[in-house]
Structure 1
Amino acid sequence: MVSLNKNILRAALLTSYIVIIALIIFGVSALYSYLNTGADRSAMLHTEIKKIDQYLPKVHWQSTNNEGRPIDSENLKAIQNDYLDAWYVRHVAYKTNTKNGIEDYFTDSARENIYQFIALNSSKNITVESTTLSHNITLEFFSEDGQLAVITDRDVQEYKRVFQNKKQLLETKEVSTYKVVLLLEDGFWRVRHFIKETTNADNTAPKSVSVSPLSIKGINYYPQANPWNMFGDSFSKDTISKDFKIIKDAGLNSVRIFVQYDDFGKANVNPEKLNKLQQTLDAAEENKLKVVVTLFDFYGDYSVLNWTLNQRHAETIVNALKNHNALLAWDIKNEPNLDFESRGKDNVIAWLDNMIDLVKSVDSIHPVTIGWSNTKSATILKDDVDIVSFHYYEDLDNLDTEIKTLKSKTDKPLVLQEFGLSSYSGFWNPFGASEEDQANYHKKAQSIIAKNNLQFMSWTLYDFDKIPKEVVGRLPWLKNTQKQFGFINKNNTKKLSFKYISRE
């Protein structure tokens, strides 16, 4: 009997031990999963929201010569941070129709109006996606006890989309002025009164800029050893300069390069990466080449709540390069129409439209374009861009007709921004093209280009050993095909197609 009780006790202890270990593993797994998927923004509270850059509209303090007590920089910064966070939390609340975080940024009286708005929208299944892009703030009053501040926020650029039953009802840009009263409670500045005084439609249409008289005869460029990681640890200005000399000597005058949003540090651009980008343009200038800089490569999140982060990224890069002699044009994004199905066509176009405005507000000299993947999408936003760019990997027999159709739809300069043929024919594609086929393709392409007096940038200088899965996925027949679009093979030997790299 004693032996039986001991066995029962051992079994109970073992079972308890297994259960405890299982709970610990589950907890660690849950924590790991949370850390790797990111916090849900709609559930963020006051302390959580401070930990990340989630909302970075442009802010200009017009005046701090206020009535009452003079304000120091620390208090001014605290007011700005909490005020912008209040905007952000309200955007999230109206998008999700939830109250999370409202108590942290609004006083009792101020939050009642927000709650009523949420309740009304919830009852009608209405949601609002919104953001502000810029603020111009004047400090009107700061109390002697440092507990109350009054600000006027003028010319607030707002963007809103209203949905009902997930169907978009309205899209609007507004310029508004707000009078805001903030109280210091529990160490945080909370909004007490939030009154919109005026609202006007945003009629600041992007200005067209004069396009360079240079007739673009160029090529898309990545170094052979580190394609799609051009600005990583293997960056070499010497290598890039040697490649640019090959390009110049081949009769070309320009290159197109790519900036990846995540790789460059998102909203907080990595200074080291930016320096490498500047060195690349230096190498281009030394070789008498011009550069089209493509922004936001491999980026696919067009959500309105991220717009201010995207804009700070673009603003930093454009400001850094806008006075460089080698800069030819800005390409907002590579092939954004490929995201229409997965991200929503309206979302993508709205993001592009606002990003064009941002780039032109920072650089009013250089033209702006978008690298559409086909001729069908090329005329989207044609009135906002300065150059209409399109890619073409289809049957060359139809190219002449496609060019003529585009010319009938727009009087903007046209650039065939990507085209080419892979010379891969192997195990994964035994019926692929040969190097001779590739040469004949480029000979024919240049004939059509010359006939239509078309500007062009071919794909690409080199064959590559490795293709990241992000480019064409994991399928071997796609990756192997992508490796051999170059005019120069992996042994640094010019292929037959090199003869037709330019129309001269």
Structure 2
Amino acid sequence: MSKINKNILRGSLLLSYVIILTLLIFGFGAIYSYLNTGADRSKMLHTEVKQVDQYLPELKWAPLNNEGRPMDQQTLTAVENDYLDAWYVKFVSYKTNTKKGIDDYYTKSARANIFNIIDHNIENQIFIDATTLEHQPTLEFFSEDGQLVVLTDHNVIEYKRLFNGETLVAEINEQSSYRVTLLLEDGFWRIRHLVKLKSQPYAKSTYDKPLEVSKIKGINYYPQANPWDMFGDNLDSEIIAKDFEIIKTSGLNSIRIFIPYEAFGKSSVDLTKLEQLKTVLDLAESKSLKVMVTLFDFYGDYSVLDWTLTQRHAKIIVNALKDHKALAFWDIKNEPNLDFESRGKTLVTAWLDKMVDFVKSQDPNHAITIGWSNAESGTILSDKLDFVSFHYYEKLEELGTSFKTLQAKVKDRPIIISEYGLSSYSGFWSPFGNSDDDQAEYHKTIQSIFSENDIQFMSWTLYDFDNVPKEVVGRLPWRQNPQKHFGFINKSGIRKSSFKYISKK
């Protein structure tokens, strides 16, 4: 064997030895680390429930006055977390017809009933999509040995959708009360008994508070440099203050702004952006402008198991702003009817229904609406809203009829048009588009219609934009380019011919 081949062989053997030694050291290190650290509870769970990310219903304990041993806060928190996780794991099991995680949160006797339901549902192709939105537990008993808890959970707001295969067969809104027994086993507070004491259909509240909307003359607002991305590093208070001065001196008295759900942190709201939002309302107040805040922009999931997370998001936003003098209205969602086809009208409407109730429970003093994309959708949930709002981008000659038709259907609810406008784009991607003069004529005509029918309005929008995110109208240039030219002020900061019709004179 040549000297070169021997060297290659020696090198290969040495490299193999180093690799084997490294693997052995790594393996022993992992075993040692495992044996010398406490068990990670999240790794013990079949489903690795992460309550902060998955399930956050409203929960309020009654003052503690239980029999037996006094309850300490640490134990109460553990009971609360395991109790809510038990609900969540059960919801996942009923939705997927699997039994994962049930063992961790229910005793043997309690899970037998759940398993029977799942087996029945599998056999009959039944799926249950459910959640709870509110719990009001009272601690009744805590045993002297610290191993047993009894509580009564009052007025649990439940929502369920029952499917046979792919077909929705029932939608259930309930308010129920439960007697619950939990045992401490292996570090888990497991449910031993969960007995429904009473149940009734959940009463959908209606709001008949008179509302004065006869003075709304407004505009949808984004800064010119960062449309659909108003908050974060791009927020410039000086620019916004100047824009608000332009809006005020033009004869308008209100603005509509948007809170993007994901960009604001979803259920864990970004507190920095929340402070920026307050700053925007401060600037509006300084110019005597009222603000319509549109929640849940760019949200489109609506999954029932997601509802508690959207509820938590709304709670933080609403409570941060509800006492601000500039706040005028809440718009629950921008154009949610556009999600009917992809997410299902029943599901979207149910989410809106619950969110209207929830926002009103957090702030009963400000009016609520939904910004429908057309007049035809304006009747949906109109009995729950303080006023109806819709957007109009159709033929002007049909506006008066559309408005009066909706007015006749909703009768006792004020109506405003919270978006309207015409693009002045005419170029390669739209050679037969409209000019600045066409846009001015449009706004002159629509203001005449507004005056004739006493219609309150919020136009789209103050500025032309250089960029429009793909999430708004997609990537296609023949859709993006017209969207950039709806403003009353062009990209160079010059007021277009339409500006003189930005408001009623």
CA contact (8 A) 1:46 1:105 kept: no
- After superposition, the CA RMSD in angstroms is 1.9
In structure 1, distance between residues paired with 2:303 and 2:159: 12
CA contact (8 A) 1:178 1:194 kept: yes
More deviation, 381-390/289-298: 381-390
Q: Which residue of 2 aligns with 1:503?
A: 504
2:70 maps to 1:70:
yes
More deviation, 206-215/100-109: 206-215
Q: Which residue of 1 aligns with 2:425?
A: 424
One-letter identity of the residue aligned with 1:250: S
One-letter identity of the residue aligned with 2:235: F
Query: TM-score w.r.t. structure 2 length?
Result: 0.90
In structure 1, distance between residues paired with 2:371 and 2:107: 47
Q: Which residue of 2 aligns with 1:232?
A: 232
Q: Report the CA distance between 1:45 and its aligned residue.
A: 3.5
Q: Report the CA distance between 1:46 and its aligned residue.
A: 5.2
In structure 1, distance between residues paired with 2:360 and 2:90: 29
Count of residue correspondences: 469
One-letter identity of the residue aligned with 1:182: L
In structure 1, distance between residues paired with 2:252 and 2:451: 14
Gaps of 5+ in 2: 17-42
Residue correspondence of structure 1 range 71-470 to structure 2 within 5 A: 71-411=71-411, 412-470=413-471
Q: 1:410 and 1:206, CA in 2 relative to 1: closer, same or farther beyond 3 A? A: closer
Give the match's secondary structure for 2:365.
coil
CA contact (8 A) 2:152 2:177 kept: yes
Gaps of 5+ in 1: 18-42
CA contact (8 A) 1:487 1:495 kept: yes
Runs of 4+ aligned structure 1 residues displaced above 4 Å come to none
One-letter identity of the residue aligned with 1:260: P
1:447-488 CA deviation, whole Å, 9 max, x = no partner? 111111100000000011111111110011211111111000
Query: TM-score w.r.t. structure 1 length?
Result: 0.90
Q: Report the CA distance between 1:212 and its aligned residue.
A: 3.0
One-letter identity of the residue aligned with 2:216: I
CA contact (8 A) 1:44 1:101 kept: no
Give the match's secondary structure for 1:378.
helix
In structure 2, distance between residues paired with 1:267 and 1:206: 27
CA contact (8 A) 1:140 1:152 kept: yes
In structure 2, distance between residues paired with 1:281 and 1:180: 45
CA contact (8 A) 2:284 2:326 kept: yes
Give the match's secondary structure for 2:427.
coil
Q: Report the CA distance between 1:50 and its aligned residue.
A: 3.2
CA contact (8 A) 2:332 2:371 kept: yes
Give the match's secondary structure for 2:323.
coil
Q: Report the CA distance between 1:269 and its aligned residue.
A: 1.1
CA contact (8 A) 1:367 1:386 kept: yes
One-letter identity of the residue aligned with 2:198: T
1:58-110 CA deviation, whole Å, 9 max, x = no partner? 11110322222212111110000000000001111111111111111111110
1:248-283 CA deviation, whole Å, 9 max, x = no partner? 100011100000111111111111111111111111
In structure 2, distance between residues paired with 1:440 and 1:246: 21
Q: Which residue of 2 aligns with 1:39?
A: none
Identity of aligned residues (%): 60
In structure 2, distance between residues paired with 1:322 and 1:206: 20
One-letter identity of the residue aligned with 2:147: Q
CA contact (8 A) 1:206 1:356 kept: no
1:310-366 CA deviation, whole Å, 9 max, x = no partner? 011111111111111111111000000110111111111000011000011111111
One-letter identity of the residue aligned with 2:382: K
CA contact (8 A) 2:207 2:383 kept: no
In structure 2, distance between residues paired with 1:465 and 1:284: 25
Give the match's secondary structure for 2:158.
strand
In structure 1, distance between residues paired with 2:57 and 2:278: 26
One-letter identity of the residue aligned with 1:489: N
More deviation, 304-313/58-67: 58-67
1:105-126 CA deviation, whole Å, 9 max, x = no partner? 1111100000001111111111
Q: Report the CA distance between 1:165 and its aligned residue.
A: 2.4
In structure 2, distance between residues paired with 1:51 and 1:314: 18
CA contact (8 A) 2:206 2:383 kept: no
In structure 2, distance between residues paired with 1:68 and 1:149: 10
CA contact (8 A) 1:293 1:331 kept: yes
In structure 2, distance between residues paired with 1:234 and 1:121: 51
Q: Report the CA distance between 1:148 and its aligned residue.
A: 1.3
In structure 1, distance between residues paired with 2:364 and 2:450: 30
CA contact (8 A) 1:175 1:199 kept: yes
Give the match's secondary structure for 1:92.
helix
1:142-177 CA deviation, whole Å, 9 max, x = no partner? 122211111111111111111212222221211111
